């Protein structure tokens, strides 16, 4: 079903609930307090019910707990190294851990974060206990969605539990649920379901629940402020370029290497589509005269990195330094921006805030090798 048809189904009262998959939350960096995940709060105390499948709930907690464990282990390792190097005692290290608000019991923080999010969004927790085991088994052996043919189909059981529980809830409540997931199994399952529909983008999902007045006001604003929108987005990207982009580099080299990213510059920022086609309303608060919208821009970056190379010393059985060199390359890709527009109903609406979604940037440097001179060289382009 196309977005236009989904919006019509929302307006007709056929779709009264929305649910999001783990991959969407993971893709948004688990940032419940900002960006589009925060905009889900608009459904609290509204006619639209935000529902959270038990499997998604447990997966998100598990992922956050894993992230927490890795961060805590990294901090403890760093504190131990610092303690040995500068002779810092246990009491000082304990105070640092306390300042970092590390929970005493592992997992408490992760569960509290998800429970808080459900409370702030008015989310309803849907247990997997009410699903039809017969349907689940039938789908598994017939390779019906979300199960695919192949030896790995057993890994689809968590998705199956989530989808069957959401479908059972929708059937029981005589309504339809809009799912937001980038998972093919979710989309395929929804395409065959009488009660579920699926989109792969959270901004699109939120936009389906906005009224025509918000869409009209945004169109008016975009038409009158096209240049201002792009200017504000570009300014935010340039000011926060180091925190927005997580640069990951791979390179082709006959040597072992390590690298340090030491240059990230914004070259150009342009609308991905004509602005009037690429901006979507994701929240319209009539009472407070505030509208939130997303727009995607194409960004060109210049990225510089300094490579340190190593060779294996077969005598001492270790890698030893073997020169260095600096290289530059370029990256181009889409970035999503979230705009908050105040006074949207007035004659002079203004952009109050711009949030840029953090993005991982993967850059490949072709054929890198050391410059065996003593001095650090200028950047070589690859």
Q: pLDDT for 315-363, tens place per residue?
A: 888 899 999 999 999 999 999 999 999 999 998 999 999 999 888 899 9
Q: What is the mean pLDDT of residues 137-147?
A: 67
- List the Cα angle 205/206/212 in 5-degree steps: 110
pLDDT digits (tens, 9 = 90+) for 8-51: 999 999 999 999 999 999 999 999 999 999 999 999 999 999 99
The residues, any chain, with a CB within 8 Å of residue 117's CB and separated by 6 or more, are 32, 37, 123
**Per-residue confidence (pLDDT) for residue 373, from 0 to 100:** 64
Q: Contact at 8 Å (CB) between 57 and 111?
A: no
Residues linked to residue 294 through DSSP beta bridges, in sequence order: 280, 338
pLDDT digits (tens, 9 = 90+) for 206-247: 999 999 999 999 999 998 887 899 999 999 999 999 999 999
Going along 26-96, which residue ranges are E strands?
A: 49-53
The pLDDT of residue 376 is above 60? no
User: Is 3-207 a domain of CATH 3.40.210?
Assistant: no
Q: Which two tokens stand for residue 225?
A: 């402020």
Confidence band of 153 (pLDDT split at 50, 70, 90): low
Q: Higher pLDDT residue, 153 or 205?
A: 205
**Per-residue confidence (pLDDT) for residue 244, from 0 to 100:** 93
The pLDDT of residue 69 is above 70? yes
Mean pLDDT of the chain: 88
**Per-residue confidence (pLDDT) for residue 137, from 0 to 100:** 67
Residue located via tokens 């925190």 = 243
Confidence band of 276 (pLDDT split at 50, 70, 90): low
Q: What is the mean pLDDT of residues 182-208?
A: 94
Alpha carbon distance 183, 115 (integer Å): 24
pTM: 0.82
């Amino acid at each position: 079903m196309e977005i236009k048809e989904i919006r019509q189904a929302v307006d007709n009262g056929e779709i009264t609930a929305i649910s999001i998959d783990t991959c969407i939350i993971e893709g948004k960096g688990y940032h419940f307090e900002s960006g589009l995940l925060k905009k889900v709060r608009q459904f609290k105390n509204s006619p639209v019910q935000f529902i959270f499948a038990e499997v998604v709930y447990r997966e998100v907690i598990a992922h956050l707990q894993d992230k927490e464990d890795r961060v805590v282990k990294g901090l403890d390792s760093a504190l131990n190294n610092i303690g040995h190097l500068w002779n810092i005692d246990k009491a000082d290290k304990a105070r640092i851990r306390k300042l970092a608000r590390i929970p005493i019991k592992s997992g408490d923080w992760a569960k509290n974060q998800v429970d808080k999010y459900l409370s702030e969004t008015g989310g309803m927790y849907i247990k997997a206990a009410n699903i039809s085991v017969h349907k689940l088994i039938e789908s598994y052996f017939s390779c019906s969605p979300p199960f695919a043919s192949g030896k790995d189909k057993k890994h689809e059981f968590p998705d199956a539990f989530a989808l069957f529980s959401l479908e059972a809830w929708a059937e029981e409540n005589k309504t339809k649920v809009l799912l937001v997931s980038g998972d093919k199994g979710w989309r395929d399952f929804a395409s065959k379901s009488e009660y579920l529909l699926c989109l792969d983008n959270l901004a699109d999902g939120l936009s389906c629940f906005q009224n025509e007045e918000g869409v009209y006001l945004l169109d008016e604003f975009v038409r009158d402020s096209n240049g201002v929108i792009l200017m504000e987005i570009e300014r935010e990207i340039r000011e926060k370029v180091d925190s927005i982009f997580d640069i990951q580099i791979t390179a082709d080299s006959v040597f072992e290497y390590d690298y340090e990213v030491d240059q990230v510059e914004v070259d150009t920022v342009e609308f991905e589509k004509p602005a009037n086609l690429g901006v979507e309303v994701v929240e319209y608060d009539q009472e407070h005269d505030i509208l939130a919208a997303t727009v995607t821009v194409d960004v060109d970056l210049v990225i510089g990195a300094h490579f340190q190379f190593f060779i294996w010393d077969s005598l001492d059985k270790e890698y030893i330094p073997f020169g260095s060199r600096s290289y530059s390359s370029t990256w181009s890709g889409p970035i999503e921006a979230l705009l908050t527009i105040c006074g949207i109903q007035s004659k002079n609406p203004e952009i109050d805030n711009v949030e840029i979604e953090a993005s991982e940037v993967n850059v490949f440097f072709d054929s890198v090798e050391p410059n065996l001179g003593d001095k650090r060289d200028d950047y070589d382009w690859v």
